[in-house]
Amino acid sequence: MELKRENWIFISIFALLLTVSAALFAPLQKNYVFINNKSDKVAAYIPMVDTAFQIKYTHSIHLSDVLESYKTLPDNTLVATELEYEDFNIGMPSDAGEGEEFVEKDGKYFIKNMERNMPEFRMLVGDVDAGLSFLIQKKELDLKATLERGTSYTFRVQRLSFFQLLKGVNIYEQ
């Protein structure tokens, strides 16, 4: 039994719609993603052009720079690998953990050989005029230029669909 021409047109249109939907909503490449904790929506993202990155911020109390180094594992686990800071004051560690190395060099303190795994972490973008940057491939991205001050975000590695990419802000291209 032969299908009528109208049935073939219907099947073809249905297949086309299915293909377009899959292209729009299927997860694509991995990204570093900032999810707004109030709305649970993607606020911004950075394409994962490297598995190593750093977050640099100005400590709110002693106003000196802190540099946190991370790497990303194939299963999207984030691994804190090193911490660099200038002051021992409130909120900063005074020694290394088990298996880690504490180093003092040129007036700075380092905790090296860290292997602190986490699936994601929370980040509050303070409503103060202090630095907050994401560093990747020698490029420094100002997070306060994109993310809303006084807002909390969940940071993680996630594959985003084309549709999700349209809703968020690509910080890497700014």
pLDDT of 1 above 60: no
Which residue segment(s) compose the domain that 50 sits in? 28-173
pLDDT band at 128 (very low <50, low <70, confident <90, very high): confident
Classify residue 67: in a domain, yes or no.
yes
Q: How many domains does the chain have?
A: 1
Classify residue 149: in a domain, yes or no.
yes
What percent of the residues of the chain are helix, what percent strand, and what percent coil, each to the nearest 5?
Answer: 20, 45, 35
Classify residue 48: in a domain, yes or no.
yes
For residue range 95-109, what is the model confidence (pLDDT) as tens digits?
888 999 999 999 999
Q: In what order do the strands lie in the sheet with 42-47?
A: 121-125, 151-161, 27-36, 42-47, 169-170
The pLDDT score that the predictor gives to residue 127 is 84
CB-CB contact of 54 with 69 (8 Å): yes
For residue range 48-97, what is the model confidence (pLDDT) as tens digits?
999 999 999 988 777 789 999 999 999 999 999 999 998 877 777 888 88
Classify residue 158: in a domain, yes or no.
yes
CB-CB contact of 116 with 80 (8 Å): yes
The pLDDT score that the predictor gives to residue 46 is 95
- % pLDDT > 70, the chain: 90
Going by DSSP bridges, is the β-strand pair 108-112/116-118 parallel, antiparallel, or unpaired? Answer: unpaired
Classify residue 13: in a domain, yes or no.
no
Classify residue 169: in a domain, yes or no.
yes
